[in-house]
Amino acid sequence: MFSNPKKLKWFLSISFVIIVAIVVARLSLVKTFSDFTYSYSHQYLYENAIDELNKNKRVQQLYGEVFPLGKMAILEGQTIYKDNYQKVRSIVKINAEKGTAKMDITAKKHEGIWVYESIKVRRSKSTEAIQITEIKPD
């Protein structure tokens, strides 16, 4: 099959690249999957943020009542944990009386409790956002 040394070199090179790509892809999928499962097990992070949005008068004017997240909102969004799951940045789609928007959350754990550094709500492709900061969930 590989009587020609050039063919063997090409085969080994391509095989190596493919194996490295597969390993890297699997490692990143494992991290992504674990982030999603952790997010689903800590939904209170999102529920408390939505409660804060519903208390904000500006949010009420622009969006009306913000409804609880749908079952697929976390999966369709983007969630990144850092520092051994002590910090999180998440973007999820939210539904409200007056349409849909994106909610951006940045939080860190302090003594086992999520402390929001930032909660923002914005139209999907808008740069204008309503920011709510320094909120401590119960």
Q: Which two tokens stand for residue 56?
A: 């904000």
C-alpha angle 85-90-95 in degrees, rounded to nearest 5: 140
- Do residues 82 and 67 make contact, with C-beta atoms less than 8 angstroms apart? no
- Do residues 112 and 85 make contact, with C-beta atoms less than 8 angstroms apart? no
Q: Which residues contact 83 (CB under 8 A, 6 or more apart)?
A: none
Give me the residue spans of the domains in the chain: 1-41, 44-132
Q: Give the model's pLDDT for residue 138.
A: 45
**102-to-34, 93, 98 alpha-carbon distances in Å:** 23, 5, 13
- Do residues 59 and 130 make contact, with C-beta atoms less than 8 angstroms apart? yes
Per-residue pLDDT reduced to its tens digit, 10-52: 888 888 888 888 877 766 666 666 666 767 777 888 899 999 9
Q: Which two tokens stand for residue 42?
A: 């800590």
Of the two residues 32 and 113, the one the predictor is more confident about is 113
For the chain, the 3-state helix, strand and coil shares in percent, each to the nearest 5, are: 45, 30, 25
For residue 134, the one-letter residue type is E
Reported as a pLDDT band with limits 50, 70 and 90, residue 66 is very high
- Do residues 94 and 103 make contact, with C-beta atoms less than 8 angstroms apart? yes
